[in-house]
Structures are given as structure tokens and as C-alpha cells.
Amino acid sequence: MKKVVVGMSGGVDSSVAAILLKEQGFNVIGLFMRNWDSNINNDIQGNPTLMNDICPQEEDYNDAKIVCDKLGIPLYRVDFIKEYWDYVFTYFLDELKNGRTPNPDIMCNKYIKFDLFIKEAKKIGASFIATGHYARLVNGKLLKALDDNKDQTYFLSQIKKEQLHDVLFPIGDLCKNEVRDIAKKYNLITATKKDSTGICFIGERNYRKFLQNYLLTQVGNIINIETSEVIGTHNGLVNYTIGQRKGLDIGGYKDKLFVVGKDLKKNILYIAIGENNIYLYSNAALIDNVNWISDNRPIKCTAKFRYRQQEENVQIEYLDSGLIKVLYPQKIKAVTPGQACVFYLNEECLGGGIIKDVILDNNKIWYL
């Protein structure tokens, strides 16, 4: 009987992944990753500071333990707190300092879930590794999940092809409601558990208050990019991202206001008025840290520039510098430095990179 180690998160998806593998005759073992110290963090001077609110991580472990006990499978626990800090959280902070909008979940998959986790699983004799991601692997190709609304290949775009060897995605052929139905059939505690949203280490905490523990922020001017008029003040550039509408507490405008740029040296936040404002759009982007999962290197394909965004038709130019220039003459709204650009060809996720610069009509534009 082949041994498979399942990454148990305490959620319904990994719970059902374990069920399906057990039904298929695998010797299933659960492994819970503790990536964040839920009680003590360090402030910007490096001093320990107690967080009064409770991180759901311990509750997730308890739920995972209850599920594993019910299914009759062992559950191990491993700490990757230091590694997560070094490879994911430090990256997150550095990107914010540089005015960009990072996606730490992508780096967590790259460095923790599909690197350190796999090595730990191999130590306990795993023939296969499985997770509750909504994705599929067919003939070595990473394919989108059948449930397009839950597909998570965007978050897997920085994984190396070799990291997917011996990996299983048991729920990739299921829709979310089918996953919950299976959990209900087994009367699991996770069957109706709410999906986790947002950045994992922040959880339900207030984003701005959380960042105050790690980053110095300075009040600065908000300027209308079209008129150069100072129309308000911001409370730190790290708290804003391109295309953001909420959190701009400025009265007197009938139309919606949107963030369109930052000047880090002058500590200025630029806004534009109206959701179709030209300052929100670009027609090309430079992509660095490009990672190919597929052997296919197309000139034309589709791409997603944010997770909750539809795929867009793009053209790709391969530059001598190793960067990729992605062209989208139809113009796309709020393409944001620091976010991932992920490439698709029909159902296959080809890989992706990180948005470095945003361009309109061959000119680098005003985002940073």
C-alpha cells in the first residue's frame, strides 16, 4: 500500500482530499504545517509584542486533528515558522516598502508547501504528497480545476516543474459543493467551515493595524493626478494598492476615487476620478522572476494579472534580459507591480512571473 502524506490545513478541502485518497486505497498520513507564531510577533524595532487577538491557526490544527482521528489516520505537526519568516514574510514586507503589492501565498507555495513540506513528507516515507488545492495534474501538465470559480493554479505559478513530481490534487475534478457534500456524508467538523480568505498570517486582524507592528508609516498628501491638486492625506503608502477604491476618505466627489500611483520619495499617493479613468489603464507590462512549468513558450496565450480577474488575451515578447514583455492592446485596468502575471493556454497553466513595470503606449507609467 503506497503512502501519501496530505497537507492538512484544518479546512474542508484538505479533509476531503484525505477521504478520497483513503477510498482509493492509499496509506494516508496527515501533516499540519505551523508557519506563523500565533501569539508573539516582533515590532518594527524587533521587540516582542503580544497580539491580543487569537490567530485561527491553533483552531485549524485542532480541527485537523479531529478530522484525522475520525478518519483513522495519524497527524504529524511540523514548524516552519523561521523559514516562513525568511522566505515569505520578509519578502512581503520588502515588497511593501518598495511600493508594490505582493502576493505572499504564491511564495508560500513555492518555498514552504511544495519545497519544505515535500522534504518533510519524504522523511516519513511518502511515495506521494497531496494537498487540497483546486488544480489538476495530467501527463505532467498543470491544468485548471474543473471548478473555474475555485481554481488555484494562479497561486501555483511559481512552482518548479520538478516540484510537482509525485504530487496529487485529489479534489481538482470536483466543484466546491461536491467537496462539502462529501465532508457532510462523513459528518466532518470542517464540512460547513468557512473558507479562509485574505492573507494567511493576518487572518481576521485589521490589515493596517497589523502592518504597524512591522513598518513605519508616514502621513502624506493625496494628489489628484489630473489637476495636481492636494485633496487629502493618506496614512502610509503601504496601506494602498493600485486600483483601490475603499479607504479613500475624501468627501465632495460624486464619482468614485481610485488609487493610480505612488511617489515613494515624496510620499505622495496619486488618485484619479471615475472607474473608467485613463490613468487606471495600461496596455503592456514587464514581467520578471519568470517561472515556466510547461515546456510550451507561446507568443500568444491568455493571462491573469490578479487572482479574481478574468483571463485576458495577450502577446508575449521574450527579451534578451530574461524579462518578458506582455502586450494587451485592449487595455486592462489596474495592472499592479508586485502581483503575479500567470499564463494559460486553454486549460494548462504555463507558469508566470511578477509584474515589474506597467506601460502605456511604450512609456513606463505613473504607478511607482
**Could you give the angle at the alpha carbon of 106 between the alpha carbons of 103 and 110, nearest 5°?**
145
User: What is the per-residue pLDDT across 225-281, written as a single tens digit (0 to 9) for each?
Assistant: 999 999 999 999 999 999 999 878 787 788 899 999 999 999 999 999 998 999 999
Co-location of 45 and 115 in the same domain: yes
Q: Which residue has the cell 460624486?
A: 254
Co-location of 234 and 195 in the same domain: no
Let me know if residue 212 belongs to a domain: no
Co-location of 294 and 263 in the same domain: no
User: What is the per-residue pLDDT across 119-129, written as a single tens digit (0 to 9) for each?
Assistant: 999 999 999 99
Point out the catalytic residue in the list 55, 68, 108, 301: 108
> Domain tally for the chain?
3
Let me know if residue 258 belongs to a domain: yes
The pLDDT of 36-50, averaged and rounded, is 54
56: which 3 cell numbers? 485561527
Cα-to-chain-centroid distance, residue 306: 9
Q: Is residue 75 helix, strand or coil?
A: strand
Assess whether pLDDT exceeds 50 at residue 43. no
Q: Which residue has the cell 480545476?
A: 145
Residues 6+ apart with CB under 8 A from 256: 245, 273, 274, 275
Whether 328 contacts 284, CB under 8 Å: yes
Q: How far apart are CA 358 and CA 368, in angstroms?
A: 9
Q: How far apart are CA 249 and CA 280, in angstroms?
A: 19
Point out the catalytic residue in the list 200, 301, 341, 349: 200
User: What is the per-residue pLDDT across 313-335, written as a single tens digit (0 to 9) for each?
Assistant: 999 999 998 899 999 999 999 99
Among residues 131, 86, 93, 89, the alpha carbon closest in space to that of 113 is found at 131
**Could you give the angle at the alpha carbon of 55 between the alpha carbons of 52 and 60, nearest 5°?**
150
Identify the pLDDT of residue 204.
61
Co-location of 90 and 185 in the same domain: yes
Q: How far apart are CA 53 and CA 38, in angstroms?
A: 9
**Which of 187, 207, 227 is the endpoint of a domain?**
207
Co-location of 32 and 156 in the same domain: yes
Which pairs from 21-25 meet CB under 8 Å and 24+ separation?
Answer: 21/130, 21/168, 21/170, 22/71, 22/73, 25/1
**Residue spans of beta strands (DSSP E) within 11-170:** 27-34, 40-42, 48-50, 75-79, 128-130, 135-138, 141-144, 167-168
Co-location of 264 and 169 in the same domain: no
What is the domain range of residue 341? 279-364
Identify the pLDDT of residue 202.
67
Residue 108 annotated as catalytic? yes
Let me know if residue 342 belongs to a domain: yes
Identify the pLDDT of residue 50.
46
Co-location of 123 and 184 in the same domain: yes
Percentage of residues in the chain with pLDDT exceeding 90?
79
Identify the pLDDT of residue 57.
76
Co-location of 349 and 295 in the same domain: yes
CATH code, domain with 269: 2.30.30.280
- How many contiguous H segments (helices) and E segments (strands) does the chain have? 8, 20
Co-location of 31 and 117 in the same domain: yes
Let me know if residue 196 belongs to a domain: yes
Q: How far apart are CA 83 and CA 185, in angstroms?
A: 37
Q: How far apart are CA 145 and CA 134, in angstroms?
A: 5
